[in-house]
Chain A
Amino acid sequence: NAGVTQTPKFQVLKTGQSMTLQCAQDMNHEYMSWYRQDPGMGLRLIHYSVGAGITDQGEVPNGYNVSRSTTEDFPLRLLSAAPSQTSVYFCASSFRSPGSSRATQYFGPGTRLTVL
């Protein structure tokens, strides 16, 4: 199993550009999440999904869209990039609710995004 994969690993955008961060998992996990990590801020939840066709907002959803058409894929779209979206983005997946004692949440390697 490849686990959780994210592409690209690095990306530079200009203000106003749009792009999609890709995330895929091959573990048949129902739960998938997108986080952003900024220095001194820990990880903040952007959007999450509890199964194909079901998504919900996290703590910081503004400026980001998601969809979950398949169990495997959970892309994150930036519609009009802003410098405040410069961050490291992590995708994660788990078989059960990530807070469950019987679940392990697996993280991808991250995408480092810079918006100029």
Chain B
Amino acid sequence: TQLLEQSPQFLSIQEGENLTVYCNSSSVFSSLQWYRQEPGEGPVLLVTVVTGGEVKKLKRLTFQFGDARKDSSLHITAAQPGDTGLYLCAGAERGSTLGRLYFGRGTQLTVWP
């Protein structure tokens, strides 16, 4: 059983379109992170959100942490081919031993020119 459910699993869009990726759980997290991974490389951290309702922006990427700290979303405005990659959410479960981070299955995004 996956602690974090990501959707959609695959997303194929044209350059310029907007998209949203969701990360949901029935568990409460002390923090939630979003990573981006390119083929043959390890994931790279994009953002960490820790406060319920928190919104963080990174250029065209907007990250939101749910009020109850059980879910998060990643919104990309005007997607570009350079945004192509595997997006992973990961949560530090509230009350769990420090160091344990749980990942979702990932969303493979392809942006066509």
A residues at B contact (CB < 8 Å): 4, 31, 33, 35, 40-45, 48-50, 56, 58-59, 90, 92, 97-101, 103-110
Which residues of B lie under 8 Å from residue A59 when comparing CB positions?
102
B100 at the interface (CB under 8 A from A): yes
B80 interface hit (Cβ, 8 Å): no
Nearest chain B CB to A51's CB is how many angstroms away?
Answer: 10
How far is it, in angstroms, between the C-alpha of A97 and the C-alpha of B97 when the chains are bound? 10
Question: Are B106 and A101 touching (Cβ within 8 A)?
Answer: no
Interface residues in chain B, defined as those with a beta carbon under 8 Å from any beta carbon in chain A: 2, 4, 6, 9, 29-31, 33, 40-45, 48-50, 88, 90-92, 97-106
- A42 B103 Cβ-Cβ under 8 A: yes
Given contacts A43-B103, A110-B41, 6 further A-B contacts (CB under 8 A): A42-B2, A43-B90, A45-B100, A59-B102, A97-B92, A107-B43
Q: Is the CB of B105 within 8 A of A58?
A: no
Q: Is the CB of A40 within 8 A of B9?
A: yes
Q: How far is the CA of A48 from the CA of B98 in the complex (A)?
A: 10
